[in-house]
C-alpha cells in the first residue's frame, strides 16, 4: 500500500440516490486515507437492550397500560422509565452517608 497516495475529496451529494450511484462506481479507498485516524462520535447511540420476561399481576399490567395510553407512549417504554427512575432514586439513597 502506498502511503503517499493522493486522497481525493469526497464530493457533496444532493441526495442519497446520487450518493449511492456515486459509490457504486467509485472506490472508497481513493477517498479515504487509511493511515489517518478517524474521529467517531458515538454519544448519540442508544444503549443496547436485552429482552427479559417479567411476570406481573394482571391488574398492575392493566394500570400500566392505562397510564401509558394517557401519556401516548408504549407501555413497555413507560415501564422502562419507571424502573430507571426508581433505580436512580434507590441508588442515591444507598450512596448517601449515614448520619
Within-domain flag for 62: yes
5 contact partners, CB below 8 Å, separation of at least 6: 33
Within-domain flag for 48: no
Question: Are the C-beta atoms of 31 and 8 separated by less than 8 Å?
Answer: yes
Q: What is the pTM of this model?
A: 0.51
Which pLDDT tens digit goes with each residue over 43-65?
888 888 899 999 999 999 999 99
Within-domain flag for 47: no
Low-confidence ranges of the chain (pLDDT < 70): 1-5, 34, 98-99
| Domain range enclosing 20 | 7-37
Per the structure, how many domains does the chain have? 2
Within-domain flag for 44: no
- The enclosing H or E element of 64 equals helix 58-71
pLDDT for position 4: 62
Within-domain flag for 50: no
DSSP codes, 65-88: HHHHHHHTS-HHHHHHHHHHHHHH
Within-domain flag for 71: yes
Amino acid at each position: 500500500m502506498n502511503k503517499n497516495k493522493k486522497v481525493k475529496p469526497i464530493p457533496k451529494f444532493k441526495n442519497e440516490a446520487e450518493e449511492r450511484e456515486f459509490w457504486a462506481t467509485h472506490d472508497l479507498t481513493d477517498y479515504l486515507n487509511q493511515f489517518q485516524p478517524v474521529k467517531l462520535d458515538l454519544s448519540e447511540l442508544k444503549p443496547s437492550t436485552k429482552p427479559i420476561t417479567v411476570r406481573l399481576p394482571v391488574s398492575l399490567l392493566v394500570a400500566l397500560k392505562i397510564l401509558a395510553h394517557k401519556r401516548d407512549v408504549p407501555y413497555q417504554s413507560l415501564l422502562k422509565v419507571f424502573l430507571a427512575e426508581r433505580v436512580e432514586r434507590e441508588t442515591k439513597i444507598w450512596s448517601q452517608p449515614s448520619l
